[in-house]
Amino acid sequence: MNEQQARPLAGVVWMLVTGLNFVAVTAIVKHVGDGLPSAQAAFLRYALGLVFLLPVLGRMRAEPLGARRVKLFGLRGLVHTGGVALWFFAMTQISISEVTAMNYLAPVYVTIGAALFLGERLAARRIAAVCVALVGAMVILRPGFREISPGHLAMLGTAVLFAGSYLIAKLLSTEVAPSVVVGWLSITVTIGLAPLAALVWVTPTMEQLGWLFLVAVFATAGHYTMTLAFRAAPVAVTQPVTFLQLVWAVLLGWLVFDEGVDVWVMLGGAIILGAVSFITWREAMLKRAQITPPDPATKT
């Protein structure tokens, strides 16, 4: 992005809206709670959200699919399905603030995965940032000082699986349009969740279907406004704003769901996000160095 074209304030505003959209998603899923099995709730969220694919169906049909792309789309769908199922389960087990804070681990795992599987260099500063982020996770979990619930373990798995999904998307984004990548994700995750939902199926009420459709609406809106934020300003500008998602989540859990305010979760989330923001800033600086012309060239 050209610095003259960057609009930092617009990027920050769009990222604020993104955070509110995603907190709305967690709030509604928490509200639906144990009324539906988590696998079924996840399936219905994606199935109802397929309506948003209608504008891109033509583009998806026109995009040629070779054996390699089919495998990548299928693998991403399988990985993301596991992450979504674990996330919905975690929402029924632990607080909204804990889910939100532990979600910040996904970019850290992406950094590790990019080094292991994509051959990206893992410099000492990035290794240090990853270690700091893992310290933040320990602050949240506090093993030995409190019981680690299945919800916490589910969120650890969620972050790993979402990181894997992102890495596959990174490979696909160089070959097909982003709308096609998102479209096939929606389809494959819906298919992947269907058998899990069938095993525990409970007839949903119209009210439950309405709430889960709202989840799809807010999730879709969140991804769209995030795209607008990234288009308006560098990620290094918008990334720190995501910490406000944790603030909203803590307030929501306290005011609406009678969850306590855990300062350790806030502290751990801040540590993780600080590490993620540092990694993001470093990558932005490296990319800028790669595209900045050498000093003599600026004088020609």
Q: Is the pLDDT of residue 205 over 90?
A: yes
What is residue 234's predicted lDDT score, i.e. its pLDDT? Answer: 66
Average pLDDT, the chain: 81
**Residues 60, 70, 48, CA angle at the centre, nearest 5°?**
55
What is the per-residue pLDDT across 66-113, written as a single tens digit (0 to 9) for each?
Answer: 888 889 999 999 999 999 999 999 988 888 888 888 887 887 787 788
**Are 125 and 281 in contact, with CB atoms under 8 Å apart?**
no
If we measure between CA atoms, which residue out of 19, 58, 90, 61 comes closest to residue 243? 19
pTM over 0.85: no
Q: Is the pLDDT of residue 139 over 80?
A: yes
What is residue 286's predicted lDDT score, i.e. its pLDDT? Answer: 62
What is the per-residue pLDDT across 105-137, written as a single tens digit (0 to 9) for each?
Answer: 887 787 788 777 777 776 777 778 778 888 888
What is residue 78's predicted lDDT score, i.e. its pLDDT? Answer: 95
